[in-house]
Amino acid sequence: KNEVEQSPQNLTAQEGEFITINCSYSVGISALHWLQQHPGGGIVSLFMLSSGKKKHGRLIATINIQEKHSSLHITASHPRDSAVYICAVPYSGGGADGLTFGKGTHLIIQP
Amino acid sequence: KAGVTQTPRYLIKTRGQQVTLSCSPISGHRSVSWYQQTPGQGLQFLFEYFSETQRNKGNFPGRFSGRQFSNSRSEMNVSTLELGDSALYLCASSPGQKNSPLHFGNGTRLTVT
């Protein structure tokens, strides 16, 4: 089973700041997921990446397969970015049968 | 396209009872996976089904079981409920191929008293 470590666990920042959340995992994987969870429980998939870098609006995700490490960046952060961000990898490494998760980063952006 | 639908949204049960939760995937998706979320343990993988077959299972006791029907809808069952089973139960669907993105339902919040 893959082990996933995420940091920081909690992060409070001011509006406009550049945010970085880190994720490392123990076993080689085919792809890594970044998820967003708002209060109330709904989870949205932000990115799935297997190499390099992806960008959606103000969100950027990078992955280094050799170092087993990924980062999620938020540029020009806004209070609506406040949420829990969760890194996840395939449970068995292979990629088609469920996920194992980091503990999540609770992000608060203050106006 | 309708999203992933979980029913019921909220459930209150008593210790020792059993419960069945339902998940309807996005049309065309053949994989359904189930997860338990608690404040202490975070999100944990329960099991995953593809075309009515369980492909993988997490580290949960046998009281937790599931199944998938031919229309890809899935149910999970928890027997002999314990207080510690109180949690948010989430399901996710995907087409089922390697590295398919997941689409999550809004979850069922189970409270065991």
Number of alpha carbons in the 13 Å side-chain half-sphere of residue A16 = 1
Residue A96 has pLDDT above 60, yes or no: no
At B110, list the tokens: 């189970």
Distance CA B32, CA B23 (A): 8
**Token pair belonging to A34:** 């970044």
Picking from A107, A57, A53, A41, the residue whose alpha carbon sits closest to that of residue A80 is A107
Q: A29 and A98 in contact (C-beta within 8 Å)? A: no
Q: What is the pLDDT of residue A42?
A: 86
Interchain contact A99–B (C-beta under 8 A) = yes
3-state secondary structure A29-73: CCCEEEEEECCCCCEEEEEEECCEEEEECCEEEEEECCCCEEEEE
Q: Does B55 touch chain A (CB under 8 A)?
A: yes
Judging contacts by C-beta atoms under 8 Å, the chain A residues touching residue B98 are 30, 94-96
Interface test with A, best of B11, B45, B60 (most A CBs within 10 A): B45
- Nearest CB to A45: which of B35, B59, B103? B103
Residue B111 near residue B15 (C-beta atoms within 8 A) = no
Q: Give the pair of three-digit tokens for residue B104.
A: 């999550």
- For tokens 């940091």, the residue is A7
DSSP state of A81: G
Span B28-40, pLDDT tens digits: 999 999 999 999 8
Q: Which distant-in-sequence residues (6+ apart) come within 8 Å of B78 by Cβ?
A: B18, B19, B63, B64, B65, B85, B110
Q: Do A41 and B45 touch (CB under 8 A)?
A: no
- Locate B21 and state its tokens: 């939760």
Residue A107 has pLDDT above 90, yes or no: yes
B39 in contact with chain A, both atoms CB, cutoff 8 A: no
Task: Kindly give the confidence (pLDDT) of every residue in chain B, 113 residues in length, as a single tens digit, with 9 standing for 90 and above.
Answer: 689 999 999 999 999 999 999 999 999 999 999 999 999 899 999 999 999 999 889 999 999 999 999 999 999 999 999 999 999 999 999 988 877 888 999 999 999 99
> With the CA atoms of B51, B52, B57 and B58 taken in that order, what torsion angle do they form, in degrees rounded to the nearest 10?
90
- Say if residue A79 is preceded by a cis peptide, omega within 30 of 0: no
B68 touching A, CB under 8 A?
no
Q: Calculate how close chain A gets to B95, using CA atoms only, in Å.
A: 9
Phi, psi of A17, deg, nearest 5: -70, 155
Report whether B60 contacts B77 (CB < 8 A): no
Q: Which of A31, A36, A24, A59 is nearest to B43 (CA)?
A: A36
pLDDT for the residue A93 = 58
